[in-house]
Structures are given as structure tokens and as C-alpha cells.
Structure 1
């Protein structure tokens, strides 16, 4: 799913916004731990004092980065579902958006899976945000599949999320066409199960 940054509810200082936008790109492209504060400061054209005024520490910027990714993905999926004429069309649009993301320039896998891999402690705030994001994802897909008439929407939502995970990981690390095709086969089974139940 294409991630589009959500508009903030409060006015963000231009320098603070530049820092976050720069971190968003660098953390995703090169990994959170591989990108140091000095590189973010240089790339966002701010002073060290400005960086520390707004974020105080890299950890605070990391939390804002992953939280922003969650808000953006949440809005994108909710918009996709609300604009689809039927639940089945929404499921198909969900799959199409993932396939589009996999084939987009600069694609580097799922930012949440990438972040989780960098923070092995399950109690770390990044991992908590990733866990909450995934729980929201399953709940949202389960509600969609319930509307579709699937007999076990929670189980099917788990299957869709894991199919998405596999497609994003496989699409980045291996054959994007094979990864997308495998995801499509799983989704076809989920939709077929719903049709049988109906």
C-alpha cells in the first residue's frame, strides 16, 4: 500500500517538518540504525541546535517516524475501503495497491517489518507501535471480510496480512512477480470462501 504522509492536526514548524521528512526517507532507504543524527541534520539543512530543540534525541525522531508511517497507512487503507463500491472490490483494491507498491521505484519492503527487525526487544516503543499497527491492520481487514460475508473473518484477516507480509518481503528480496502472484492466489481463496459461505 502506498504510504502518503498524513497532514498533522497542528501546525508543524518548517524545520521540524524537514527533519521528519528527511528521516522518513533515510530511515526507510538505509535503515534506522544506519542513519545517524549528523546525517539527518545535514540532509535536512538544519543546525544541530534546531534538531535537538525539536527532537532532543534520535529516539524521539524514530518514534515520530514510525508513528507517522502508521497514521499514513491507516488513512490510505481506510480511504481505499471507503471508496470501494463493495467489500470484494475493496479487497481487490487492497491487493492492487500492494502490487503497485512492490513495483514502485525505491521500494524497500515493509517499513514496519524493517523497523521490527532493527529493534529486537518486544518492549521497545518501536516494537509496541509495530504491534499496535499490525493489530489495527488485522481488525480492519476482519471488519472488511465480515462485510464480505466470510465465515471466519478473523482467520481470513490473518491470512491476508501474512500474504501481504510475504509479498512485501518477497517482492523486495526476490521475485516481485512471483510474490504478487502468490498473494493473489491467497486472496482468491479468501474471496472464494466468502462466496461459498454466502
Structure 2
């Protein structure tokens, strides 16, 4: 009896590790197949193309983020506390050893063509993130939460690039400071502590 995880899970786990360590484009389907210990026929039974594997990888990343946010919201923290936790989580990611930049930004750069299924998966993440931030800002009483969410998402994107290219240790503090300034400038009342 084979005690290993199902083949699709093994393929996705191998792809996740290899994509995270290298880049999506630099990892061939053959490399994922070999790493997962399966065959091409089995691979293509689960993923009709490498692009479909990349979509599954990105959707799994998004699913983990959605689950983490749902757990955070269940704690009963207010919108300000949740936004601070999001900033800290981004800082933690940018500070981890081997960080190569945001998974979704990297995927968008590697798959620039509009209409590509990978680009669509990146778009789902971006829409989700923007919606979450806008909803939290609305709870805080921010004027034009959609516009402010655009600004905070751009700030977050820059923080991810800075974490890769610059000083990752400064990401969390700078992200929180700049984010507070943006929010405070658009708040209808005082910002909670």
C-alpha cells in the first residue's frame, strides 16, 4: 500500500517548492514530474498544461490567505487590528530567508499576456486583496475606501519589492507607518490605536 499523498497533491507540493525556490518559468513540467516521482501521462491527467499547474499553485496560495484572513476575522479583532496584522504578515513574508518577492507579482511578470489563465489567477488574488482592504477601510470609516485600498495595495506591492531588493527588516515598520499616514489622511474620525 502506497502511504504517499495522492499524485495531484504531490505534483502541487513539488511545484510549490520548486516555484518558490526558483521561478515559475524556470521550472519545467518535467522537473516537477521528476520531483513528484510520477509520469508525464499522470501529470497531464491532472493538469492539462503547465499553465494549469501554475493556476492551481496560485489558487492554493490564495486559498491559504483567505483561510488565514477568515481565522483572523473570527478572533473578533476590529478592522484596524486586522489591517495591522495584514501589514505584519506581509513584513514577515518579506523577511523570511530565501524570499524572492511576492508570488503573485512574480507570476504577473512571468505571464504578462492579457487573457492567459495564469494572469487571470493573479487577477483573482488582486481583486480579493483589494476587496478585503476596501471592506476593512469602510469599517474604519475611511472616505473613498476603494481609492484608499488602491493606495494601500500599491504600498504593499512596493514593500514586497523592497523586501526582496532592499532591507527586509525594515518592511513591517515602514509599511505600518506609511499605511497609517494614508489611512489617517482619509479618515472621517480618529484612527483607533
Residue pair 1:84, 1:90 contacting (<8 A) in 2 also: no
Greater shift, 149-158 or 70-79, is seen at 70-79
Using the alignment, how far apart are the partners of 1:51 and 1:33 within structure 2? Answer: 17
Residue pair 1:119, 1:127 contacting (<8 A) in 2 also: yes
Q: Which residue is 1:143 aligned to?
A: 135
Please tell me the root mean square deviation across aligned C-alpha atoms, in Å.
1.9
Matches within 5 A, 1:111-150: 111-150=103-142
Equivalent position SS for 2:162: helix
Change in Cα spacing, 1:150 to 1:55, as seen in structure 2 (3 Å) is same
Does residue 152 of structure 2 align to residue 160 of structure 1? yes
Match of 1:75 among 41, 45, 67: 67
Residue pair 1:166, 1:179 contacting (<8 A) in 2 also: no
Deviation at 1:191, TM superposition (A): 4.0
Does residue 165 of structure 2 align to residue 180 of structure 1? no
Equivalent position SS for 2:178: helix
Equivalent position SS for 2:108: helix
CA shift digits 1:14-39 (9 cap, x unpaired) = 11100011101111221111001221
Match of 2:32 among 24, 27, 40: 40
Tell me the TM-score normalised to structure 1 length: 0.85
Using the alignment, how far apart are the partners of 1:157 and 1:56 within structure 2? Answer: 36
Residue pair 2:51, 2:117 contacting (<8 A) in 1 also: no
Residue pair 2:62, 2:125 contacting (<8 A) in 1 also: yes
Using the alignment, how far apart are the partners of 2:55 and 2:61 within structure 1? Answer: 10
Using the alignment, how far apart are the partners of 1:197 and 1:172 within structure 2? Answer: 35
Q: Which residue is 1:59 aligned to?
A: 51
Tell me the TM-score normalised to structure 2 length: 0.87
Residue pair 1:151, 1:197 contacting (<8 A) in 2 also: no
Change in Cα spacing, 1:110 to 1:128, as seen in structure 2 (3 Å) is same
Using the alignment, how far apart are the partners of 2:71 and 2:185 within structure 1? Answer: 25
Equivalent position SS for 1:32: coil
Which blocks of at least 5 consecutive residues in structure 2 are unaligned?
none
Change in Cα spacing, 1:83 to 1:119, as seen in structure 2 (3 Å) is same
Equivalent position SS for 1:85: coil
Which blocks of at least 5 consecutive residues in structure 1 are unaligned?
1-12
